[in-house]
Each structure stands twice: as structure tokens, then as C-alpha cells.
Amino acid sequence: MKKDKIEKVLTTCPYCGCGCNFYLNIENGKIVGVEPDNLHPVNKGELCIKGYFGYDYVHDPRRLTSPLVKKDGTLVPVSWDEALDYVAGRLKQIKQESGPDAFALFSSARSINEDNYMAQKFTRAVMGTNNVDHCARLCHASTVAGLAMTLGSGAMTNSIPEISAYSDVIFIIGSNTSECHPLIASCVLKAKERGAKLIVADPRMTEIANKADIWLRVPSGYNIPLINGMINVVIKEGLVKTDFIKEHTVGFEELVKAVEGYTPEYVEKLTGIPQKDLVKAARIYGKAGAAVILYTMGITQFSHGTGNVADCANLALITGNIGRPGTGVDPLRGQNNVQGACDMGALPTDLPGYLKVNVEENRARFEKIWGVKLPSIPGLKVTEVPDAILNHCVRALYVFGENPVMSDPDSDHLRHAFEHLDLLVVQDIFLTETARLADVVLPAACWGEKDGTFTNTERRVQRVRKAVDPPGNAKFDWWIFSKLAEKMGYTGMSYNNVEEIWDEIRRLVPEKFGGMSYERLDNNRGLQWPCPTEDHPGTPFLYKGGKFSTPTGKAQIYSILFNTGNPDTKLDFEVKENGKVIIGSIAELPDEEYPLVLTTGRRVYHYHTGTMTRKSPILNQMGPQEQVEVNPLDAARLGINDGDFIKISTRRGYVAARAWKTERVPKGTIFMTFHYWEACCNELTNTAIDPICCIPEFKVGAAKIEKITPSEAQAILEEKKEKYKVELGKDIILKIPTVK
């Protein structure tokens, strides 16, 4: 049989927030390869390993191809009409019996902007509630809150290409950049080749930390003392930009008093960071012509995550490192479209464009086009939903393109809550660990099978293009929401194509997206918001000239304190007239029973809960199993060798995995990922939340480990197989080669 000619389709990568572009090579209706886009401003002809080899899941035979409805305890295939009729009928009944707030929806940072817009519109316009949220609550909710409070907008201030072109100093804090955002790491290394200085603060010796001019090994949870220590040095050595502070900020005088006690000596006592290294880092950052701060979940995923983010903003503001190329405070968003999902209003407090739901004029803008009265009370956050279910407040949950059973903290508690729902609907591309619990499963088209847009970490809205057809009877997510709305009697979500949805978004939020037609996005390889008019070039960096989008037009400096709980070291602080304060602390410290710190994250070969990458053979071969990083001193004390099975326990639960003896982690700390159902760290993580933004404390929790036998590990694996309803038919752990 003669092969068809290879077709090339330019699209945006479905993995991290870098937003790389590449060409999909299509042959006989299948993706057969990838080629990087040489002209794209972010990746410039480069790709990471997931970009090159992470597409096989698209054609995996385990893709969902038909709607499923649970009958007599078993999910069975049904028609779309039957599935949607059933969902619509149950939602109508629950809404009538218990009111609109008995419904909640988890939206998807993996899916396109248009799908997220439809998800939140369905929740608000059809169901009549603001109970819509998504995984930003678990990764960058503290960014949205912290940067909005200080600067006015919860987004990256600058652009990725500026790092290699303009930054003199790069301060990376809480970011494993080389593994989690490889193409941004490439920009950092190009800047170093140009002569830029690199400071990295991280408890682990990551690849990017190994390349730093200064590595500050900050213990997990102690970012506030570190940043305050740098601010203390900058102030005492006169490295602040006095004119900028006077003209463009509020709260500096209170900050001076708040950080007075965070001397290098005190910070060393608290964190173990040598005084000379702290002072050197502060001087390098403070004297820079253009310094940028890059961060990720290593500072956001704490019960004081908002304080960490605000403190980073403080450091940038007092040194004038904002509002210019190569400067700024740049959160590196974890998922491909977590920025876009926030922008589209998949938040319980915000309509699209970050317009607050409790402001009447904001609601009026949307009511005019949507044709319905909208709810004014902010809804439930992801982290509040499990308890709301158990308290009989939420009866129906719709999970779209996420896998909370693997991704949310204390997953046993969440599973317990889900089992008490009257209706669980899951819309996804695979029968995930969450979908196996559902009453209804709706099969969706994946990234390579639909048109739309993603918004990357630097606010760049880019086109996603359909390359192949969905399998079987899988449908576009926006189509599913549209048809379900029609079944429930609302016709305001009927569209002919995805571009019509995007144009509605542009009309509703013109100040950010008005100038971003599909044609312009196609011709410019994306545009960065705000882009209000058709002749606007987009906005590479925010706050030019010190003009902030806060109510006062000035940046608000918050004094961030760290509460050690020790009266002898607790700092006194008096809030002045313009002073605002956040006090951070760690929710669960090691003790005699649980003497180790558990910290969590990702590795280069996999992505989040492994839904896509564990179905991509090359990636799965390179990262076949969980490896728990254990410091050699801790391993020696416990008689643990490389490749030994260990049981990892916290107050929430336990898992089994193999040990990896490595000095990447400090003594007293272990590191795990949430890629593997066999040993998912989120069975262990803490549900303690930041009181401002409700993000959980994934990055520090008390744990213990012990060596176990292969048969004991196998018994725990069998338990997990039953828990996650996995059908394998073969031994997984015992056939995996010993960790090297």
C-alpha cells in the first residue's frame, strides 16, 4: 500500500507552561513525528524530551471512544443522547432539590481556552453557581493572589526571550527549571554564556542549581527568612531604588522595620545558609542593571505560599527590577494552559478577565451577552469541595480534564468524599483513576484532535491546531458542554465552531483579548495580553513606567514575617497606617514519630499524574517507576541501599517504592513525585491550606521511611491496584530493574 505524503501541522505543545511550538508530522491520519519550530520566540528550534516523544498517547488503544454510564456498578457504553439525557436529568433534579450550589465543576488547565470558557459558562449560566475551579488552586493560586495583591495582576510580568537577551542576574527560587521548564532553562544558560549571574535557591541539588554561581540550600518551607534576609542586606547596603519606591510603591517604611531582625546571622541560624552566601547573593541581585526572579511551586505550594510570592515582589520592587525588559517577577506556570484557565474565569471568585463575581457591573457585562442573571457569591475552591461533599452541601461534581484522585492532597480523604456524591461526571481522554469512580464518563478529543488556543506562562495566547481525528465517538469538550446545556434548556452555548467561542471571549474581555483574532494569532505565532485592539502589538512586559494595575496605581508592599513558633525568635511587628502584613509558618514539622521532611515535585520524563506520558513508550521506558530520593546519611542510619524497597508513611497514609540514595536531597529530607499510581505521594501530602488562596502545603510534611522486603512491597502494590481499580494482569514493581 502506498503511503500518503507526510503533512505538517504547526501547533503548541500540550505539556508545561513554556508554550513551545512544533510541527506534527502526519501520515495516514496518524502522528508519526515532531519537528521544532525554528521561528518560535520561546523554543527557537529546540524541544525537550516530552516535546519530542510525548505524543504517542494520542493513538493509544486505551483511549475512551464511547460515553459510559454506570449500571449495576459497572460502566457500560451508551449513546451520546442517553449519556447526556441522564446527566441533564440528574443535574436538573439535584438543582431543584438542593439549589444551584449543590453542583461544582473542576475545569482543566490541560485543555484549550475555549473549553475552559465553556466550562465556567455552563457552571454559571446553566447551573447558576460560582462553584468552578481548576488545578491552579493546587499550583499557582498563591501567584494569582500574591501578585494581584502587590502588583495588580496575577501573571508573569515579563517574557521568556528577555531572559537570554537582557537579564544581568537571574534569581531562581523554588524551581527545578531544567526538568520542569527545560526551554526556559535553556534561556537561562544562554544568559549565563552572555555573562549573566545565576542565583538558585532550592533544598535539592537540581541540575539548574548545579550550574548556579551561588546555590542557596534553603530548607523546604523557609523561603521567607531567605528573601527577608536578602531584603535586609539590600536595604542596609543602600542598594534600594529610593526614587522608584517613593513614586511607585506603598508600604516600604513598614517593610524596613519588618526585616530589621532578618540579619544574615539570624537567617543562617534559622536556615543553615552561610552568611557570606546570603550577602553575596543579595549584593549581586541588588546591584544588577536588570534582574529577574523565576519561581514555581517550590515557593507557591505552602500554607504561606501567598506570602512567599509577595515577598519576591518586595525584593523586585525595592530594587526597581520591574517594568523593564529583563526584570520582573516571573512565575513559571506548571501546565500548558493553567494561565489560560485562570484568564478564562475557571475560578470561583472571577469571571473571565479576572473580573470579580461580587461586583455588579462585572456581572452585568456578562449577563447582557449570556442572557441570564448570574450568581454574585464567590464559589467553592477545589480544596474546599471534599468537605462540602461530606457535609452534604455538594451533591454533584463534574470533573473535566483533570485527575484529582492522583493530584490532590490526602487523596484517601478525597476518594472518600467522591464516594458520597450523588453524581460524579468525568470528561476525559482516558479512564483515569478519577474516571473509574464516576457515574458517567464522557469521551473527549485530546489536544492533537481539536482547534483552539493555549496561553503560556508569559501570557502568550497561541493557536492549537487539529492534526488528526478523535478516536471512535469522542467529541470536542466545547461541543459536550454545548449539547449538555441544550439538554438543560439553555441555548446560549450553541456555536458552530471554536472560533465563534473565542470571538465571544474577545467581545466580553476586550481590554485583554480584543485585538487577538485567530488570523492575528496565526500570523504572529501568538500575542501577549493585554492586546486590546487589532493594531496593538501585544504586551511583552507589564508595568512600564511604574504604572501598576492596583486600585491606587501603586505597587503595595506587604511585610512578610516568618513565625517560628518560638517566643525567643518571634519578631515584633506593629502595622502602621499603610502597612500590610502576612505571617507565614509551616503547618507540619518533623517530630519523633515522623522525623523526616517529605517534599514533592516532578521529573523530566513524566508530567503530573502520568495520564499522557505513561502512555508514551519512550518516556515510560526512561522513567518506569517512582524513585524516592533519600540522603545517604539517612539511608545508612536506616540500613537502606540503592534499589531497596521502602515504605513511606505520613499521618495520611503509606506507599511503597524503591529508594535512590543521593545527595540531591539534604539530610532529613526525602523527595517523591505524583506521576505513579503505584506510589503516589499525594496519598501522603497534607491538606493544610494557605488562608488567603487555599493552596495546599505539598512541599513540606512530616514523614518516616523503613526498609521492607519485596513481598511486603508486593502486598502494598496489590492494595494500591485494588484502590485505583487497576487491571494489569502482571507484576509491575518486581519486574522493574533495580534503580541505578
Q: Which domains does the chain have, with CATH numbers?
A: 68-137+337-446+473-513 (3.40.50.740), 141-332+555-578 (3.40.228.10), 596-735 (2.40.40.20)
The answer on pLDDT for 501 being more than 60 is yes
Average pLDDT in the 119-123 region? 99
DSSP string across 425-469: EEEESS--TTGGG-SEEEEB--GGG--EEEE-TTSEEEEE---SP
Phi, psi at 248, each rounded to 5°:
-125, 5
Cβ atoms of 651 and 620 closer than 8 Å:
no
Count of beta carbons in the 10 Å neighbourhood of residue 691: 10
pLDDT per position as a tens digit, 12-57 = 999 999 999 999 999 999 999 999 999 999 999 999 999 999 999 9
State the DSSP code for 420.
T
* pLDDT classification of 731: cutoffs 50, 70, 90: very low
Cα(149)–Cα(557) distance, rounded to whole angstroms? 9
pLDDT for the residue numbered 1: 47
pLDDT for the residue numbered 578: 47
Cα(417)–Cα(399) distance, rounded to whole angstroms? 14
Q: Three-class SS of residue 23?
A: strand
Q: What distances in angstroms separate CA 500 from CA 158, 487, 504, 536, 684, one per listed residue?
A: 30, 21, 6, 21, 44
Residue type (1 letter), 393: C
In sequence order, what are the residues at sequence separation of 6 or more whose Cβ sits closer than 8 angstroms to the Cβ of residue 323?
Answer: 157, 541, 542, 543, 544, 545, 546, 547
Give the whole-number percent of the chain exceeding pLDDT 70. Answer: 95
Q: What distances in angstroms separate CA 418 from CA 89, 224, 357, 437, one per listed residue?
A: 20, 36, 27, 8
DSSP string across 81-105: HHHHHHHHHHHHHHHHHH-GGGEEE
The answer on pLDDT for 732 being more than 90 is no
Sign of CA pseudo-dihedral 478, 394, 607, 347: positive
pLDDT for the residue numbered 290: 99
What are residue 355's DSSP bridge partners? 351
Average pLDDT in the 198-222 region? 98
pLDDT per position as a tens digit, 128-186 = 999 999 998 998 999 999 999 999 999 999 999 999 999 999 999 999 999 999 999 99
pLDDT for the residue numbered 583: 78
CA angle, 296 then 299 then 303, to 5°: 130
Of 213-227, 439-453, 678-692, the poorest mean pLDDT is in 678-692
Element (H, E) at 145: helix 141-150
Average pLDDT in the 401-424 region? 95
Cα(449)–Cα(736) distance, rounded to whole angstroms? 34
State the DSSP code for 696.
B
pLDDT for the residue numbered 479: 99
CA-based end-to-end distance of the chain = 45
CA-CA-CA-CA torsion for 610, 616, 619, 622, nearest 10 degrees? 100
CA angle, 163 then 109 then 701, to 5°: 80
pLDDT for the residue numbered 609: 87
Element (H, E) at 34: strand 30-36
What are residue 79's DSSP bridge partners? none
Cα 587 to chain centroid, rounded: 21
* pLDDT classification of 4: cutoffs 50, 70, 90: low
The answer on pLDDT for 372 being more than 90 is yes
Let me know how long the chain is. 740
pLDDT for the residue numbered 394: 99
pLDDT per position as a tens digit, 350-365 = 999 999 999 999 999 9
Residue type (1 letter), 52: Y
The answer on pLDDT for 92 being more than 90 is yes
Average pLDDT in the 80-103 region? 99
pLDDT for the residue numbered 572: 37
Average pLDDT in the 449-455 region? 98
pLDDT per position as a tens digit, 238-286 = 999 999 999 999 999 999 999 999 999 999 999 999 999 999 999 999 9
pLDDT for the residue numbered 564: 63
Element (H, E) at 356: strand 355-356
DSSP string across 240-292: S-HHHHHHHEE-HHHHHHHTTT--HHHHHHHH---HHHHHHHHHHHHH-SSEE
The answer on pLDDT for 210 being more than 50 is yes
Question: Among residues 64, 298, 260, which one has the least CA distance to residue 174?
Answer: 298
pLDDT for the residue numbered 582: 75
* pLDDT classification of 607: cutoffs 50, 70, 90: confident
Q: What distances in angstroms separate CA 52 from CA 186, 295, 353, 470, 486, one per listed residue?
A: 16, 25, 33, 21, 40
Of 71-80, 234-243, 567-576, the poorest mean pLDDT is in 567-576
pLDDT for the residue numbered 457: 97
Question: Among residues 613, 622, 584, 602, which one has the least CA distance to residue 680?
Answer: 602
Write down the mean pLDDT value for the chain: 94
Q: Three-class SS of residue 712?
A: helix
Indicate the pTM of the whole model: 0.95
Sign of CA pseudo-dihedral 661, 273, 227, 692: positive
The answer on pLDDT for 124 being more than 50 is yes
Phi, psi at 180, each rounded to 5°:
-100, -25
- List strand residue ranges (DSSP E) for 545-631, in order: 555-556, 559-562, 581-584, 596-601, 627-630
Count of beta carbons in the 10 Å neighbourhood of residue 239: 17
Sheet containing strand 197-201, edge to edge, reads 214-216, 197-201, 169-173, 291-295, 329-331
The answer on pLDDT for 430 being more than 50 is yes
Cα(651)–Cα(421) distance, rounded to whole angstroms? 25
* pLDDT classification of 122: cutoffs 50, 70, 90: very high
Q: What distances in angstroms separate CA 304 from CA 143, 172, 179, 495, 700, one per listed residue?
A: 11, 19, 25, 42, 12
pLDDT for the residue numbered 599: 97
What are residue 630's DSSP bridge partners? 661, 670
* pLDDT classification of 369: cutoffs 50, 70, 90: very high
Cβ atoms of 133 and 347 closer than 8 Å:
yes
